Structure 1
Amino acid sequence: MTHLLPMTTPSEVSKTWRVHEEYGGFSIRDFLIKVGEFSRQLLKKVRISGSVYVNGKMAELWQPLEIEDEVKVVFPKEERGAVIPRQGPLSILFEDEDVLVIDKPPGIPVVPPFNKQEPSIASYLLDEYKRREYPCTVHVVTRLDRETSGLMLVSKHAYSHMLLTKKLDEVSREYVALVQGCFHEKEGLIDEPIARAEDSIIKRTVAENGKPSQTKFYLEKQGQDFSRVRFKLLTGRTHQIRVHMAFKGYPLAGDTLYGARALEGKQGQALHCDRLCFLHPWTKEKMRFVSEPPKDWDTYA
């Protein structure tokens, strides 16, 4: 299902806090660092281009706070970057003022790698932001490869992005994939370092000098020609699942970059992010989302 962003998208991004007893006497600057978890870089941007209010009156960051004061930060308008906005469909499973959860189809990049005019999830979002006069750029938290489908998390502004990336290890994703061959192991851990392949700027490989990489796997359905396997990443390397499964001799179905046969009528690897779990950066609520893999997988395994 295709959704458009709600008409209530605000024309400015702001956050408000109430000063509790333990923070009375703090300067606004120290309060925002301690309670708001602001980075010094974001605080500098607010100081230069944003604004801060205490009880409705504009204030400076050095000013002291009293118990029960209301602190409001209006964040500066963000630079959009080089990606060209383009109108296109977006399947949005969840949206509020801080985050978006998108169900990405295969065959489209999240951000165009070279040609900034190429259609992408980022260009579609930028077009929506532009039409709604939303003053932010696209902040991708969890990226997917062009041919990988499924759930991805996007921050709607720099503050949300900063909070989520600080605790990126708490953002949990699971994937399902079709792998080529009759996979025999019920479950296990692949613990093999991954590095860039010497003869390619795209391809990765298992190598002793690579970065530590760990992938948990669980067999879901065994077939003669293809099997369905679930994965949970303990690290986040480029092409990690694809590289680790090719290393084991069971490349992802359709993943010709890593030695698999092409699937008739399909392009790229059969990989889908079907589960996403994260702590909401503002409400601190545990958020869980599920997405079914493509229906045509059932014809394989």
Structure 2
Amino acid sequence: MSSYQHIVTEEQVKTRVDKILSDINPDISRSQIQSWITDNHVTVNNEPVKANYKCQVGDEIGWTIPEVKPLQVIAENIPLEIVYEDSDLLVVNKPKGMVVHPSAGHRSGTLVNALLYHCNDLSGINGVERPGIVHRIDKDTSGLLVVAKNDYTHIHLSEQLSSKEIMRKYEAIVHGEIPHKTGMIDAPIGRDPKDRQKMGVVDNGKPAVTHFRVLENYPDYTHIECRLETGRTHQIRVHMRYIGYPLVGDPKYGPRKTLDTNGQSLHAKVLGFTHPKKKEWMEFEREAPAYFYETLEYIKKSY
């Protein structure tokens, strides 16, 4: 276990202890921090406290981060749509509803479980829980992902991501009629200070840029294509909500009244990159799943 301490400042007076720890540990969820408190991993002035304790100037917050037991990732015979494969990498069309890698809430049925059954040679840079995973898409987002089979390939693909050389285009259906044909959203993304389970546009967030163009307008809805310059968590979902056009079916960032599509209407349609060893540009495209076009047809018939 790792132990840490923090002295409460004047600016933090009457702030809940779990809120202070959330601000200090931005990569840890508020619920996780509250579980630390419940399990007596957090003290104030060497005494256990409750999550709603409001701190005073000079309070000494002490906390230990418990060691996380590594997950055992088991190969599972899950069907995969493999778009391309060679000795260095493979491109997969991930279905809607599949989580990319195991986590505390999803220990099986993930893309990684399926990949381990399909091939034994995956890069180890991201550890045993995320072998080969260069980039991710959300559980309810469908579409194309590239997976590295060795560390050399992983490193070079990650460098292309960092330098914005990988091309990623998405299709989405959003609420509202976007009045212009194209647009760019340049707004930093970070943890939403009001809800640690969400991301949001925040002043101290990481740079995030999304380009979009309108494919077709409907009354109250728009079918769009988005191109990512950066790859922040929930980027398209957050950015489209920020400009007033949230994704259809999005339970986290969409309006309360939306179409029932079992998650956001978002598909990673096009993926392009330079092959790390062949040095050739490779580009792949897959149409969105049936539900996406059924939703568009429903919208068309509704007006």
Q: 1:142 aligns with which of 105, 127, 135?
A: 135
Query: Which residue of 1 is the match for residue 84 of structure 2?
Result: 94
Contact 2:270 2:285 in 1 (8 A): yes
Say how many residue pairs are matched: 218
Q: 1:133-282 maps to which residues of 2 (within 5 A)? A: 134=121, 138-168=131-161, 169-260=164-255, 261-264=257-260, 266-282=261-277
Contact 1:262 1:268 in 2 (8 A): no
Per the TM alignment, residue 235 of structure 1 is displaced from its structure 2 partner at its CA by: 1.4
Q: Which amino acid aligns with 1:105?
A: P
**Helix, strand or coil for the counterpart of 2:136?**
coil
Cα deviation 1:14-40 (Å, max 9, x = unaligned) = xxxxxxxxxxxxxxxxxxxxxxxxxxx
Q: Which amino acid aligns with 2:79?
A: P
Distance in 1 of aligned mates of 2:159 and 2:181:
34
Q: 1:73-84 maps to which residues of 2 (within 5 A)? A: 82-84=72-74
Q: Which amino acid aligns with 1:140?
A: I
Distance in 1 of aligned mates of 2:167 and 2:219:
31
Cα pair distance change 1:81/1:170, threshold 3 Å: farther
Cα pair distance change 1:262/1:111, threshold 3 Å: farther
**Helix, strand or coil for the counterpart of 2:282?**
strand
Q: Which amino acid aligns with 2:198?
A: K
Q: 1:290-301 maps to which residues of 2 (within 5 A)? A: 290-295=285-290, 296-299=294-297, 300=299
Compute the TM-score of the two structures, normalised by the length of structure 2. Answer: 0.68
Contact 2:172 2:267 in 1 (8 A): yes
1:85 pairs with 2:75:
yes
Contact 2:209 2:228 in 1 (8 A): yes
Distance in 2 of aligned mates of 1:188 and 1:167:
24
Per the TM alignment, residue 220 of structure 1 is displaced from its structure 2 partner at its CA by: 0.5
Query: Which residue of 1 is the match for residue 7 of structure 2?
Result: none
Gaps of 5+ in 1: 1-79
Moved over 4 A (4+): 134-137
**Same amino acid, percent of matched pairs:** 40
Distance in 1 of aligned mates of 2:189 and 2:83:
33
Cα pair distance change 1:184/1:236, threshold 3 Å: same
Q: 2:284 aligns with which of 251, 273, 289?
A: 289
- Is the deviation greater in 102-111 or in 156-165? 156-165
**Helix, strand or coil for the counterpart of 1:163?**
helix
Q: 1:22-101 maps to which residues of 2 (within 5 A)? A: 82-101=72-91
**Helix, strand or coil for the counterpart of 2:97?**
coil
Contact 2:122 2:148 in 1 (8 A): no
Distance in 2 of aligned mates of 1:93 and 1:185:
34
Cα deviation 1:86-138 (Å, max 9, x = unaligned) = 220100010000111101110111112324522111110112235xxx47653
| CA RMSD after TM alignment | 1.9
Query: Which residue of 1 is the match for residue 114 of structure 2?
Result: 124
Gaps of 5+ in 2: 1-69, 125-130
Cα pair distance change 1:173/1:228, threshold 3 Å: same
Cα deviation 1:240-270 (Å, max 9, x = unaligned) = 1100110111100001211333423x21100
Query: Which residue of 1 is the match for residue 128 of structure 2?
Result: none
Distance in 2 of aligned mates of 1:259 and 1:120:
25
Cα deviation 1:218-252 (Å, max 9, x = unaligned) = 01110113211111111111111100110111100
Compute the TM-score of the two structures, normalised by the length of structure 1. Answer: 0.68
Distance in 1 of aligned mates of 2:96 and 2:262:
9
Cα pair distance change 1:85/1:116, threshold 3 Å: farther
Distance in 1 of aligned mates of 2:285 and 2:248:
22
**Helix, strand or coil for the counterpart of 1:188?**
strand
**Helix, strand or coil for the counterpart of 2:90?**
strand
